[in-house]
Every structure is written in structure tokens, then in C-alpha cells.
Amino acid sequence: METYAEPKELSREEFAALLEERVQASLNMSVSEFIAGLEDGRLDPESPRVASLAILVGARAR
């Protein structure tokens, strides 16, 4: 088989920073605002821009 790159493990802080960056870039809000939006029903946990990030932050959507 051909060679391939290795997966990269991030620390809790590094992964949190990556999530913050992606939520900001995709939805123009902070992770805490994102979680609040999921929990109070303002954000649809199944919409294309939200779904992949929602499973990563662990909020229970209303």
C-alpha cells in the first residue's frame, strides 16, 4: 500500500481552539453562543452548517 499521512492528536485546549475557530468561521459566533443556540432552539441541529459542529460540542438540541 502507498504511504499516507498520520492522524494528528490535539490536546483538550488545542481541540477547543479548533472548534472555536470553525464555529466562528462557519456561523460567525462563539462556541458558547452556538451551544446556547442549540439548547434554546434557535439553531437547527440538522441544518448543513450546524450538524457537523453540533455533535462535537455535545449540546442537546431542543
At its nearest, how many Å lie between another protein and the CB of residue 36?
13
Residue carrying C-alpha cell 446556547: 36
Cβ distance to another protein smaller for residue 33 or 45: 45
The yes or no reply on residue 28 touching another protein (CB under 8 A) is no
Identify residues 40-59 at the interface with another protein (CB under 8 A): 45-49, 51-59
23 within 8 A of 46, measured Cβ to Cβ: no
Can you tell me which of 20, 24, 25, 42 binds another protein, judged by CB under 8 A? Answer: 25
Q: Which residues of 31-55 are buried (b: 16+ CB within 10 A; e: fewer)?
A: beebbebbeeeebebeeeebeebbe
CB of 42 to another protein, least distance (A): 15
